[in-house]
Structure 1
Amino acid sequence: MSTFKFTTLLMFLGFFSYNSLYSQAYTREQLQDSMAQMPYFSIHKDNYFITGVPANTAINSSTANAKYQISFKQILTRSRLPLDTYLFMTYTQKSFWNIYKESLPFSDINFNPSIAIGKAIYDKEDRLSGLATVSFEHESNGRDSIASRSWNRFSLEYTTNIFKRTTASFKVWLPFGYKEGNPDLLEYVGLGQVNMSHIFKQDKLVFDLRVRKGLNFDGKGSIRTRIYFNPFDNNISNQYVMFEWFVGQAEGLLNYQESKSMIRIGYVIRTNEFRWFKGKK
């Protein structure tokens, strides 16, 4: 079965599953109270350690690897800024580690700091309908000479519920400063991405899909699917077992032109940045 058919089937099943629906999203007052109580320092994207093998080439110590990510967010001010916005910065580091080779070398490390302004969008009933973020991001692999890869971008992201238990993020970026080390990077990462996350069973089973399309008329781009499963009776720490399947290019910066199909599994502390769309239980 193709990747597209596989992910479409999972999403279809999820939309019509029988699990109970979440209540309405937070009101303006509930969201402001929640943000006032949340810590200044928190998780941004998923923090994980996963390992796996390729699905499109021979499996050996050079092609199998591990991937891990650390990501955090620091709120800079809770004071009311113009237009009810708030200022924060983030840092994400993604590493590819050849743990099956004798010397356990790192093949690629990507650094992604950003500074951003966020704003909550409310509907006519004064309930949260979306979260908008404008950010400046830098991403590089920290190397020099011919191995140097980096790019900068201004990004606009909007996150909202498209179904009761399905959250979608739509992100576009205006890139610059990328032509020296990787002049054709946009042919592989494009000008944006769509990310959808669907909850099959609350705190137990979650499906996530991210799609990027390169600036071309062929098949360049990527599809990343994830399944999160909590094997325990409770999940107060947001910990899951994660299964990930990445297909396409630009999983990392160093060899962004290389086509990959990697299947990995491991441990993840899942982000709950968008929990406000779930509403009060």
Structure 2
Amino acid sequence: MLKTTFTFLPIIAGISATCFSVNGAQLSALDSCLLDAIKQADQTQTVAELNAQCNQQDDSNESKVIEQVAKTTVASNNLTKTRQGLISKRISSESKTENELFVLTPHLMNYILPALTTNDINTNAYQSFPEFQDNFEDVESKFQLSIKVPLTDNIFIPGDKFYFAFTLKAWWQIYSDNISKPFRETNYKPEVFYLAPLNWHPLEGNTGFTVGLEHESNGRSQALSRSWNRVYASFLFEKDNFALSFKPWWRLPEDEKRFVGDPKGDDNPDILDFMGHFELFAAYKWDEYELSVKARENFARHHGAIELGFTFPLWGKFIGYATAFNGYGESLIDYNHKQTRIGIGVALNNIL
């Protein structure tokens, strides 16, 4: 998935709007400070003194927030010569809350597909487990949880950031009554990445790039174990309601297995033959609808995959999500298995 990394050009609309939201948030912080101060105060302190003490602390915290917003705004004005696209608007919105204690910022999409069909369920990978192999259903459920956390910003140039992100995907055989509805596959992907805007505006759009390191594993052992580590770079482009990402990668080499069942060897030495060396992603949004396409290809082996996604409004914060996939690598256990999949479900956030 976009994975990636569709975050760049963090742009703040203006200091005044942000200051307005800061004042509202700081009111509760001031009340909390007063309550704590009263509990810890000695008998000689007056209420006026405690109030002055908390107001001074409140003003200091607000000044820090305004200073950070001002830096981001200056960087935005210097680097963005064209109007914001959807990615920039998303990052602008995220920047206001991503450092809040009780806020989890989405990385990729967060969704659940109660029904995900396949024309050819992968049974070959489970030959050592005939009780599973013979009872898998062609319809299962899938969900994805993906969040990111900012680590630091404005390191090398104004507007750049370091992130840690974690994505979990799970395929659940919820309709398999004969085998107690197991999770057929679960993939875990932690990553760290650096993103930065570029002062380059082809076609009157905005550009940026990311560089990252990720580990992806299914957390299994022996015959069912699948994993790989990648270093990737991604070029990002946006214009109005359109976004494009080109993401090549290099797999970190692993030692060959010395014997069958060796826990330290490479679980899938031929994974690049099927997963390819790059991913191309594009998305377009009109009104409340969003269409996306993601493609991978190994031109030497003629193996790859294409995935289409479509989101539409439902109710409240819930978004309808439909997806179609054809090719290899829909999950790690299926990296060398070709299939066609169609799913429908609900998402909590769009890609853009």
Same fold (TM over 0.5): yes
**Counterpart amino acid of 1:167?**
A
Q: Look up the match of 1:250.
A: 329
Shift in Å, 1:173: 0.6
Structure 2 residue runs of 5 or longer lacking an equivalent are 1-81, 122-134, 257-265
Q: Look up the match of 2:275.
A: 189
Structure 1 residues 147 and 160, CA gap change in structure 2 (3 angstroms): same
Q: CA RMSD in A?
A: 2.7
TM-score norm. by structure 1 comes to 0.76
Q: Look up the match of 2:306.
A: 223
Shift in Å, 1:140: 0.6
Structure 1 residue runs of 5 or longer lacking an equivalent are 1-22, 275-281
Q: Look up the match of 1:104.
A: 181
Q: Look up the match of 2:342.
A: 263
Shift in Å, 1:62: 1.3
Does residue 171 (structure 1) correspond to residue 247 (structure 2)? The answer is: yes
Does residue 158 (structure 1) correspond to residue 222 (structure 2)? The answer is: no
Does residue 88 (structure 1) correspond to residue 152 (structure 2)? The answer is: no
Q: Distance in 2 between matches of 1:222 and 1:91?
A: 23
Structure with higher strand content:
1
Q: Could you tell me which of 35, 56, 62 is aligned with 2:137?
A: 62
Q: Distance in 1 between matches of 2:95 and 2:173?
A: 42
Structure with higher helix content:
2
Structure 1 residues 119 and 231, CA gap change in structure 2 (3 angstroms): same
**Counterpart amino acid of 2:241?**
R
SS at match of 1:160: strand
Q: Distance in 2 between matches of 1:256 and 1:86?
A: 32
Q: Look up the match of 1:209.
A: 293
Shift in Å, 1:271: 4.0
**Counterpart amino acid of 1:151?**
W
From the CA coordinates, give the structure whose radius of gyration is larger. 2
Structure 1 residues 229 and 32, CA gap change in structure 2 (3 angstroms): closer
SS at match of 1:143: coil
Q: Distance in 2 between matches of 1:66 and 1:247?
A: 17
Shift in Å, 1:160: 1.0
Q: Distance in 2 between matches of 1:97 and 1:231?
A: 24
TM-score norm. by structure 2 comes to 0.62
Q: Look up the match of 2:109.
A: 46
SS at match of 1:230: strand
Q: Distance in 2 between matches of 1:229 and 1:47?
A: 14
Q: Distance in 1 between matches of 2:209 and 2:308?
A: 24
Residues 294 and 307, structure 2, Cα contact 8 Å, conserved in 1: yes
Residues 273 and 301, structure 2, Cα contact 8 Å, conserved in 1: no
What are the equivalent positions in structure 2 for 1:234-249 lying under 5 Å apart? Answer: 237=317, 239-249=318-328
Shift in Å, 1:35: 6.2
SS at match of 2:157: helix
Q: Which moved more, 1:82-91 or 1:112-121?
A: 82-91
Residues 120 and 138, structure 2, Cα contact 8 Å, conserved in 1: no
SS at match of 1:39: coil
The percentage of aligned residue pairs carrying the same residue is 24
**Counterpart amino acid of 2:84?**
A
**Counterpart amino acid of 2:225?**
S
Q: Look up the match of 1:279.
A: none
Q: Distance in 1 between matches of 2:90 and 2:106?
A: 18
